[in-house]
Structure 1
């Protein structure tokens, strides 16, 4: 499957969306409701905004064909499961750790893109992947020191990251036949419908005492963050999307440092710089990719 032609604004949208998503863990901590309930409100409160924006820009929400509905339901399921696991992990580990482990999806989605293209990464892409992996490993350094305290939260965030790969793949498949905002709206509807019963079943606090953080989570993470991400996925190759998402752990670690005095070592700063440089590398002009050997039939 050939990838759609890139829109000039797609990469900028990807970076802005990734930065907006990085504030999500902090807002989940401030939400004042259970972690699954926070996921429900994130999706539910975003729906009217997504509907109005979609109509205003000429992407009205409509019911797609059956095959596409199944794909959107899958996207909603994976996203709901990701939010439930990730939000729970956010309360059990450092902000930087939760975002870092949650973004294991970055490498999973990049690998999916390379497999889909049936090509080996070019020299430049391979260097970018190695730099990003090094940066992620350096950012993980402080987590390793505190693994006894944060291991359960780290594992939940890691599991959430794997679920997020399923969501990204479903979105990437559906974007070929559906505009970004209707797709995000419908996936959010299905995800919210799955999260509310789970939150009630777990006996969580569902109604917040302060609606401010919840509205900020819905607008920042779902409308702006996911909206720009879903838009970019239709134009930017999965490898670049995956590496761009790795900006989130560095931003979340910085928020944790500023707001919660969570320690940032020199290795953390070096890891963040390595990820930034990897993102620059993967955007440089290149001569192409080496095709994978044809498989015998």
Structure 2
């Protein structure tokens, strides 16, 4: 029998295959992606402390956060457009434009994201940073619950375990607030803040589901909508939602100090543009489950900053409930 073609013979040393340049390159890219997602978690972890430093209304803070993130989103979307045009010229095809359905879905995602920011910022003003961050990360669990209830996807054993862990942790955290464990003076106020953060997680789950839908080419869509265009449309829509709510509710629209102005700029450039951008970059190199778990580092970063800046040290009960929430979120995330 003749030997196999030379192209199929892998170099080896002592019977073990040697790493090829492509394998080494892929390993390097995955390491870069892991570093990127760690940095993304750190950047996003600044969100809650920066919100506390911003002296404007909850919805107004959301507006400024998205407003200052529009610049990077425009650059990202333009780069995608130029790449699509160059590809069309090379292949001789026509550069396809996004469909009306895709744009509307991206706008709907922005509505959900704007609602998430408004509700989360209001909840953060009423409860502790640790409570807000832990409860806000329930969004992933809600995504799987919606898939079960709305899409009729059969729940797995892992999802049921995740639900039990996450809901138990949630009740412990809210129960701690009801017993006077929150940073706010009133127990009722602290519980209300916890419930608002759960509501924010529901809104963010809606954002995640709609974004997942718009990033996939559906019926009648000639090409998937790029991440840059989705980010631009969703951010612009969310900014309009936040501004409209801030005006209607009579909030303080403009930061009242240099500290407040720097805080909202930091929210837009550090937490939103850089943090979300690095996470999106890593998504193309690492499994979504790995990225999701690493992003839980934002809870540690945000809680540590709150303890250093504002003296908010979570109680042992909150830490115990938080561990259950994190365990539930981790179990619910795909591999």
TM-score scaled to structure 2, two decimals?
A: 0.68
Q: Deviations over 1:21-50 (max 9, x none)?
A: 222121111111111111001011111122
Residue from 38, 54, 58 that aligns with 1:35: 58
Q: Deviations over 1:121-147 (max 9, x none)?
A: 476x87777666666666556434334
Equivalent position SS for 2:231: helix
For residues 1-12 of structure 1, what are the structure 2 equivalents within 5 Å?
A: 8=30
Contact 1:114–1:121 (8 Å) recurs in 2: no
- Aligned mates of 2:334, 2:103 — CA distance in 1: 37
- Evaluate the alpha carbon distance shift between residue 242 and residue 273 of structure 1 in structure 2; reply closer, same or farther with a 3 A threshold: same
Residue from 75, 93, 96 that aligns with 1:52: 75
Residue from 183, 197, 200 that aligns with 2:230: 183
Contact 2:57–2:253 (8 Å) recurs in 1: yes
Contact 2:124–2:132 (8 Å) recurs in 1: yes
- Aligned mates of 2:215, 2:190 — CA distance in 1: 37
- Aligned mates of 1:36, 1:130 — CA distance in 2: 33
Contact 1:51–1:60 (8 Å) recurs in 2: no
Contact 1:82–1:164 (8 Å) recurs in 2: yes
What is the aligned partner in structure 1 of residue 193 from structure 2? 153
Residue from 8, 17, 30 that aligns with 2:40: 17
- Aligned mates of 1:185, 1:35 — CA distance in 2: 22
Counting matched residue pairs gives: 278
Contact 1:240–1:282 (8 Å) recurs in 2: no
Residue from 133, 147, 153 that aligns with 1:99: 133
- Evaluate the alpha carbon distance shift between residue 149 and residue 278 of structure 1 in structure 2; reply closer, same or farther with a 3 A threshold: closer
Structure 1 residue 278: Cα displacement: 7.2
- 1:204 correspondence with 2:244: no
- 1:256 correspondence with 2:306: yes
Structure 1 residue 241: Cα displacement: 6.3
- Aligned mates of 1:112, 1:15 — CA distance in 2: 28
- Aligned mates of 1:233, 1:112 — CA distance in 2: 23
Structure 1 residue 266: Cα displacement: 3.5
Structure 1 residue 263: Cα displacement: 2.8
- Aligned mates of 1:283, 1:114 — CA distance in 2: 14
Residue from 114, 128, 153 that aligns with 1:80: 114
Unaligned runs of 5+ in 1: 1-6, 286-297
- Aligned mates of 2:37, 2:171 — CA distance in 1: 23
Structure 1 residue 184: Cα displacement: 0.7
- Aligned mates of 1:63, 1:32 — CA distance in 2: 41
Contact 1:106–1:241 (8 Å) recurs in 2: no
- 1:162 correspondence with 2:202: yes
Structure 1 residue 163: Cα displacement: 0.9
7-16 vs 245-254, which moves further: 7-16
Bigger Cα Rg: 2
TM-score scaled to structure 1, two decimals?
A: 0.75
Contact 2:130–2:314 (8 Å) recurs in 1: no
144-153 vs 27-36, which moves further: 144-153
Contact 2:134–2:326 (8 Å) recurs in 1: no
What is the aligned partner in structure 2 of residue 289 from structure 1? none
